[in-house]
Structure 1
Amino acid sequence: MILVVLTVVDVIKCQHTASPLGNGAIVVTADNEIVVLRRSDNVGEFAGHLVFPGGHPEPEKVEVASSQNGQDPVVTTEELNKKVSEEMFDSISREVVEEIGVPATSLSTPVFIGLSRRILNVRPAAFFYMKCNLPSKEIHQLYSSALDGYESIQLHTVSPVILEHMKSKMPGCHQGGFALYKLMIEASTKV
């Protein structure tokens, strides 16, 4: 179960805007480095910032017919929930493949680790953990042919200790994603 708590301040800040759900992935390489991108100066959001690969789910990928001529779409709630859930996980895998250039077969199934929010507009972002079976050196080579490589100008692979020192150059929601990753690691060591 996922619990999202909105405060009165959150509701007031967002009362006249949509809050589309973003996503991000903490991708750990075969040599235990974390993939981080430096955003291009030519993008609309987070220009020049360090970010984790990600973007947002694509509602049209769910392929649910909309209501037309007063008729309800023919889809059960169960079918809709399944399609939306699949898109949540498929979309983060697509974003990672498109942004860093690795083949989908090199990635583990995404593991949902939590929600983080932007500070300015409190837009939520779902964060996932993924393991890549390729070493950092090979990921750097593949990055040059990434489909969405224009969104970023540099790929870094760093240890969690180094990333701790770099996180101040990340947007708040990505800092939150890193905090979720650290909580996941901490919880797994207690088991």
Structure 2
Amino acid sequence: MSQAPTTVGPSTSFFSKASGGRRPSLDTSPPPPFPLTSSSLHRRRSMATAAEDPGTTYKLLLSCPAGLPRSRVSVKFDPSFDRIPHPDASLEASIDEIWNQRLQQNPSLYSGTKFRYGGHASHHNDESNQEYCVSLHLGLTDYRTFVGTNLSPLWEKFLVSSEDDSVCCQHMSNPLGNGAIVETSDEKIIVLQRSNNVGESPGYYVFPGGHSEPQEVGILAHQNDVEDVAHLIERVSDEMFDGIIREVVEETGVPASSLSEPIFIGVSRREVNVRPAAFFFVRCNVDSNTVAELYSRAQDGYESTKLYAVSKEELREMNQRLPGCHQGGFALYELMRKAAGNS
């Protein structure tokens, strides 16, 4: 894992897409003030803050501090992990009502298919010296249902009172997001500031990420043929890792050839809207200045407007300005560093 960080002082690299792709300049000040504060749950520890922002609280659903390579992360893809409709017919009807309202506001919205997080299981590989392995349980959902459940003002009504997370969230869309803690060759971490155009967490700081996409592996619906299912599951497992690289490339402009194979470090869930996300650690073989230049040519100019390359110390300062699922991603990164003997 990475070496212990060295203190480099206020040397945050900053670049905004508003510069029109010109060569970026370095801003020697820390990231600008952000009007968000948070307080800790028992699942995380943070410095005391002036007030609580519920959107920054989180729960760690799965932590893999040692980090797992692709060979030790598999997928169980099955319709049993799809969302269960809520028995309250009026609550179910609200999904279409909310979606239709959103369509009137923005006719370009598209209800794309997403992988739904339905839990996980761990086991040891008897053939490889008892190596610890994880299986992610995935079903299918779509953006319409996500808007009508997780993003609905009625989202709490869809929850079931249970300590079992998969039962608690069985009526939620819960598409599995992803995020990457990308470490540059000069030991900086890449953080993006979300634009004000996005529906979720506008203006917040986030790690690069998005979603693994079913359509990337040719999935539009569940299949029944046993042979096809076996091959399908292998493709879905690969998409968990290929998808996060694709997101980093699109959002930062860093070519895939400059990125290491992702290491899976766990799954966190934002408490507000119970939004789950899988997190990965990725090394980048170029420095933060080069990343800033590449960002100006990134494909995705809609979701983020600024990129910061921050030291680990600065990231600790910023972590209270991240939405809950990304707060959890930061916690997973810290646990990974601790397991590797780094502070």
Same fold, TM exceeding 0.5?
A: yes
The two structures, once aligned, show a CA RMSD in angstroms of 2.3
Gaps of 5+ in 1: none
Q: How far does residue 66 in structure 1 lie from its aligned partner after superposition?
A: 4.4
Q: Which amino acid aligns with 1:24?
A: G
Query: How many angstroms apart in 2 are the aligned matches of 1:187 and 1:33?
Result: 19
Matched, 1:8 2:128: no
1:95 aligns with 247
The one of 25, 50, 68 equivalent to 2:180 is 25
Matched, 1:158 2:313: no
**Alignment-mate amino acid for residue 123 of structure 1:** R
User: For the Cα contact (< 8 Å) 1:143–1:149, is it kept in 2?
Assistant: no
Which stretch has the larger CA shift, 154-163 or 116-125? Answer: 116-125
Partner SS state of residue 230, structure 2: helix
Assess if the C-alpha contact under 8 Å between 1:25 and 1:53 holds in 2.
yes
Q: Write the deviation string for residues 99-144 of structure 1: whole angstroms up to 9, x where unpaired.
A: 0001110000011000000111212100000000010000001101
Q: TM-score, normalised by structure 1?
A: 0.89
1:130 & 1:112 partners in 2: Cα distance?
A: 9
Q: How many residues align?
A: 186
Deviations, residues 35-74 of structure 1 (Å, cap 9, x unaligned): 000000011111000000000110112224746xxx8346
Partner of 2:319: 167
| Equivalent-residue separation in structure 1 for 2:202 and 2:168 (angstroms) | 23
Q: C-alpha separation between the residues in 1 aligned to 2:221 and 2:197?
A: 35
Contact 1:29 1:131 in 2 (8 A): yes
More strand, by proportion: 2
Percent sequence identity is 55
Higher helix proportion, which one? 1
2:265 aligned counterpart, secondary structure = strand
Q: Any idea what SS the aligned residue of 1:8 has? A: coil
- State whether structure 2 residue 268 is matched by structure 1 residue 113: no
How far off is 1:151 after superposition? 1.1
Higher relative contact order structure (alpha carbons within 8 Å, sequence separation ≥ 6) = 1
**Residue pair 2:265, 2:281 contacting (<8 A) in 1 also:** yes
2:340 counterpart of 1:185: no
* 1:7–1:131 Cα change, 3 Å: farther
Change (3 A) 1:163 1:66: closer
Matched, 1:147 2:302: no
Give the corresponding residue for 1:36: 191
Q: Quick check: 1:136–1:157 contact (8 Å CA) kept in 2? A: yes
Flag the 1:189–1:151 CA change in 2: closer, same or farther, 3 A.
same
Q: Cα 1:7–1:185, aligned 2, differ >3 Å: closer, same or farther?
A: farther
Q: Kindly tell me: are residues 137 and 152 of structure 1, through their superposed partners in 2, closer, same or farther at Cα, counting changes over 3 Å?
A: same
Question: SS of 1:163's equivalent?
Answer: helix
SS at match of 1:95: helix
Cα separation, 1, equivalents of 2:221 and 2:316: 45
User: 2 CA distance for matches of 1:74 and 1:11?
Assistant: 26
Q: Which amino acid is 2:179 matched to?
A: G
Q: TM-score, normalised by structure 2?
A: 0.51
- What is the CA-CA distance between 1:13 and the residue it aligns to? 5.8
**Conservation of the 8 A alpha-carbon contact between 2:161 and 2:168:** no
Q: In 2, Cα distance between the equivalents of 1:139 and 1:168?
A: 24
Are the aligned partners of 2:180 and 2:209 in contact in 1 as well (CA < 8 Å)? yes
Q: Distance in 1 between matches of 2:221 and 2:225?
A: 6
- Which residue of structure 2 aligns with residue 80 of structure 1? 232
Alignment of 1:114-129 (within 5 A): 114-129=266-281
